A = this chain, B = another copy of it.
Amino acid sequence: MRLHGPLEPVFVPRGFRFSAAKGGIKASGKPDLALAEAPREAAAAAVFTRNRVVAAPVVVGRGNLRRSGGRLRAVLVNSGNANCGCGVLGVRAAERCCAAVARVLGTGAARVLPSSTGIIGVPLPEGKVTAAVPGLAAALASGETALRAFGRAIMTTDLRPKLASASFGVGGRTVSLAGVAKGAGMIHPDMATMLVYLFCDVAAPAAVLRRRLKDAVSVTFNAMSVDGDTSTNDTVLLMASGASGVRLGSAGADAGFAAALRAVCASLASQIIRDGEGARHLVRLSVEGARSVDEARVVARSIANSPLVKTAWAGCDPNWGRILARVGSSGVPVDPARVSIDIGPHRVFENGRAKAFDRRAAHEVLKRPEYRVRVRLGRGRAALEYLTCDLTEEYIRINAEYST
């Protein structure tokens, strides 16, 4: 299996076409509409936000996946407006946008999944979307350039587009999987992250895709946080066109697909955290010695969402006391006497006690753009690597000024 990051050539999955457009939804005039299409349909699975407040496109998308039996022709994404908090009017608007796409593609509205990201509470300028649909459909193209344009059009506060792709061989055939993501703030996914679209040319039924996607999301997008805020629009969509001729079900295809899916998701997750609003450090937080992966996640989230821990990281300060305090308040009944903490290679706290360490060397570790903090709980054998970032003045500036 080979994995390519955003600056390398894309392994483009066959059986998909992409396009993007400037619909005038963003005040900046930047691209804000994106369309992906599977001309011969694709099996599809998605995980959505667990927020009780869900945006209209999540409501409509969930219904369309159910009604179509997990068979989609297209996904239509707009940035600049979340279509959330506008009641039934928002739902109707999302439905009409799907219908417009279905009309030009000659399919049913239930085969189109809508997705939105941007400000909450402002009615979606539906007319701008539907007016742009014929042009979007006409511009659909396969290939790397079109896929990259799709990825750029879904950005909001992102500084960089997020893209990863993988390929693996099975019995002389090649399977390609490519994913794009957006997200820089309001990142604390619960079952799914902001917006992620994964396209693969493997053949598989929707039910199989759902299981695979859930497994991959659990240890990637559900194991990261920028700011602890769970969006109302979080969506991870996986579409499989079958155009590679490789069908899931054999050991080789299954293992290759699982590895490629996890690698692409993990790459996109780290790209999201690296582009976290105002973030200067990507922190790989390893929580080990937990009773279960979920328990490790609870402790990791408690640490990763602490303003005091995150500001210490912003100051490159090996202040492990703040980490320890969050381990203690996480709700997991840890015994502090069994807890140890490492900053990079430096053991700073061991079995309930401060440990003498080279503060200058630890400070140097914390100055790197990426480093590991390891917390051992001494309760069991489960572990999770959780991705997060520091909290800087730049985050405050971005978010104090975003909608005013």
Residues of B within 8 A of A306 (CB): 227-229
A319 at the interface (CB under 8 A from B): yes
Does the CB pair A231–B325 fall under 8 Å? yes
Does the CB pair A354–B121 fall under 8 Å? yes
A399 at the interface (CB under 8 A from B): yes
A28 at the interface (CB under 8 A from B): no
Within 8 A of B (CB), among A99-127: 119-123
- Bound CA–CA A130/B322 (angstroms): 28
A185 at the interface (CB under 8 A from B): yes
User: A52 is contacted by which of B52, B82, B123, B329 (Cβ under 8 Å)?
Assistant: B329
Residues of B within 8 A of A399 (CB): 307-308, 311-312, 315
Which segment, of A11-19, A136-144, A387-395, faces chain B? Answer: A387-395
Does the CB pair B322–A353 fall under 8 Å? no
Does the CB pair A53–B308 fall under 8 Å? no
Given contacts A119-B321, A121-B349, contact A400 B229 (CB under 8 A): no
A316 at the interface (CB under 8 A from B): yes
Encode A298-341 as 1/0 by CB contact (under 8 A) with B.
00000001111001101111011110111111101111110100
Does the CB pair A314–B396 fall under 8 Å? yes
A174 at the interface (CB under 8 A from B): no
Q: Which residue of the partner chain B has the closest CB to A391? A: B396
A374 at the interface (CB under 8 A from B): no
- Bound CA–CA A391/B398 (angstroms): 12
A63 at the interface (CB under 8 A from B): no
Which segment, of A34-42, A84-92, A194-202, faces chain B? Answer: A84-92
User: A54 is contacted by which of B51, B328, B404 (Cβ under 8 Å)?
Assistant: B328
Give me the interface of A with B, judged by CB distance under 8 Å.
50-54, 82, 84-87, 89, 119-123, 185-186, 190, 227-232, 305-308, 311-312, 314-317, 319-322, 324-330, 332-337, 339, 349, 352-354, 363, 391-393, 395-397, 399-404
Could you give 19 example pairs across A and B, Cβ below 8 Å?
A51-B328, A53-B336, A82-B321, A87-B353, A89-B353, A120-B321, A229-B307, A232-B321, A305-B305, A312-B400, A315-B399, A316-B404, A317-B400, A317-B401, A317-B402, A363-B404, A392-B396, A392-B400, A393-B396
With contacts A87-B353, A121-B349, A230-B325 known, what are 15 further pairs, Cβ within 8 A?
A50-B329, A52-B327, A85-B324, A85-B349, A86-B353, A87-B352, A121-B324, A121-B354, A186-B325, A190-B329, A230-B329, A232-B325, A232-B328, A307-B399, A315-B400
